[in-house]
Amino acid sequence: MATVTFRDTTRYYAGVDRPAVDGLDLEVADGEFLVLVGPSGCGKSTTLRMLAGLEGVDYGQIHIGDRDVTNLPPKDRDIAMVFQNYALYPHMTVGENIGFHLKIAKMNKAERAERVKTAAELLDLTPYLDRKPAKLSGGQRQRVAMGRAIVREPSVFLMDEPLSNLDAQLRVQTRTQIASLQRRLGITTIYVTHDQVEAMTMGDKVAVLKDGLLQQCDTPIGLFARPVNLFVAGFIGSPSMNLIKTTVDAEGALVGGTRLALTPAQRSALTSADIVVGVRPEGWEVGEAADGITAVVEVVEELGSDQYLYCKSTHDDQILTVRTPGMASWQRGEKIGLSPKPGAVHLFDAAGGERL
């Protein structure tokens, strides 16, 4: 096992002016499960591939433990990678697929069989060791790909969107199995996904990237409770945070009839009088139409335990999302008043997007 460190790591692609990954400084602790998340093209897969040795590094360094692996070939980095397309050999059995790299490494047959057996037991694949991949479900095939990585006993696991080919129910089941397995094995793991729900439910830490730049790296709770900028605030959370533009005067900012005071430090960080107020769906008090922001309920989304109201503000037609207890009696077309709950407000500078 080992730490993983990116030091000012940068990667350019030919013909593109902007780097795919720009000056990445990131450290993954020994045994930690780190998830890289962000929209398509943000640099998360490039980051993983640089660590694996599948992409070059134009500037900066990458360390695994005490070793500088920046220019080492993939085979010398002591990593194992799981891809989204499984990459199994169709003519081999499950057992042969799991043990293939050990066979190539000329490990003796007895030790190879023992490692395959142990990995199969961990992944509940023992009954399928003699089957070919074509006879397995998508979730079982992905577990075989993981078994092939586990038997190598690497210092670092790398996983590049391994659940993207699975249906929704199987994704939930398999992500729980992966997170549980990683904690049992205690191997440093870096996992790439574009799904922020997946990121928040699996990672010890989550690193959010945008346009090749690291925006924030924190625990899931830290990201949710204190996003450092507007991008993280809008990206993390499902449904996403409501972001309302307003202005600051001598008394503070007014949102839905609620006066929000700013601290001296927040005022000094402002670059103009314009700010953005963030309120998560569960951060609203719902009252009479005359109280707070007057809004009309456009859609009621009933989930049983929760209910989401998608409302249009009568002031500026902005759509606001409100989370209420399930089975509530709100109706489409009903007028309501929305006021932010105490302590549920996030303030951001409108110009730079930074948290105040």
pLDDT per residue as tens digits for the range 1-23 = 699 999 999 999 998 999 999 99
Classify residue 283: in a domain, yes or no: yes
Q: How confident is the model at residue 56 (pLDDT cuts 50, 70, 90)?
A: very high
Position 221, amino acid: I
The structure tokens 């699975």 sit at 166
Q: Are residues 101 and 218 in the same domain?
A: yes
Classify residue 355: in a domain, yes or no: no
| End-of-domain residue from the set 205, 234, 263 | 234
Q: Are residues 230 and 244 in the same domain?
A: no
Mean pLDDT calculated for residue range 63-77: 95
Q: What is the CATH number of the domain that holds 44?
A: 3.40.50.300
Instruction: Assess whether pLDDT exceeds 90 at residue 130.
Output: yes
Q: Are residues 70 and 149 in the same domain?
A: yes
Whether the bond into 325 is cis, omega within 30 of 0 = no
Classify residue 132: in a domain, yes or no: yes
- Number of neighbouring beta carbons within 10 Å of residue 273: 11
Q: Are residues 181 and 287 in the same domain?
A: no
Classify residue 61: in a domain, yes or no: yes
| End-of-domain residue from the set 234, 267, 292 | 234
Q: Are residues 149 and 246 in the same domain?
A: no
Q: Are residues 181 and 211 in the same domain?
A: yes
Q: Are residues 185 and 243 in the same domain?
A: no
Q: Are residues 162 and 176 in the same domain?
A: yes
Mean pLDDT calculated for residue range 159-176: 86
Lowest-pLDDT range of 190-194, 256-260, 274-278: 256-260
Instruction: Assess whether pLDDT exceeds 80 at residue 256.
Output: no
At residue 244, φ and ψ (nearest 5 deg) are -120, 125
Classify residue 261: in a domain, yes or no: yes
DSSP assignment of 295-335, as one string? EEEEEEEE-SSEEEEEEEETTT--EEEEEEETT----TT-E
Classify residue 28: in a domain, yes or no: yes
Q: Are residues 202 and 287 in the same domain?
A: no
What was the pLDDT predicted at 286? 92
Indicate the Cα dihedral angle 147, 152, 156, 160, nearest 10°: -40
Please, are residues 8 and 23 in contact by the beta-carbon 8 Å criterion? yes
Mean pLDDT calculated for residue range 94-121: 92
What was the pLDDT predicted at 134? 92
End-to-end CA distance of the chain: 39
DSSP assignment of 219-251, as one string? -HHHHHH--SBHHHHHHSSSSPPEEEEEEEETT
Mean pLDDT calculated for residue range 187-211: 94
Instruction: Assess whether pLDDT exceeds 70 at residue 104.
Output: yes
Q: Are residues 252 and 157 in the same domain?
A: no
Classify residue 354: in a domain, yes or no: no
The structure tokens 């948290």 sit at 355
To the question of pTM greater than 0.85 for the whole model, the response is yes
Mean pLDDT calculated for residue range 257-269: 84
Q: Are residues 187 and 284 in the same domain?
A: no
If one counts the domains in the chain, the total is 2
Question: For the segment 301-335, what is each residue's pLDDT rounded down to a tens digit?
Answer: 999 899 999 999 988 889 999 999 988 889 999 99
Q: Which residue range is the domain that position 40 belongs to?
A: 4-234
Please, are residues 56 and 47 in contact by the beta-carbon 8 Å criterion? no
Q: Are residues 84 and 216 in the same domain?
A: yes
What was the pLDDT predicted at 128? 94
Q: What is the CATH number of the domain that holds 280?
A: 2.40.50.140
| End-of-domain residue from the set 187, 202, 234 | 234
The residue ranking higher by pLDDT, 316 or 208, is: 208
Classify residue 68: in a domain, yes or no: yes
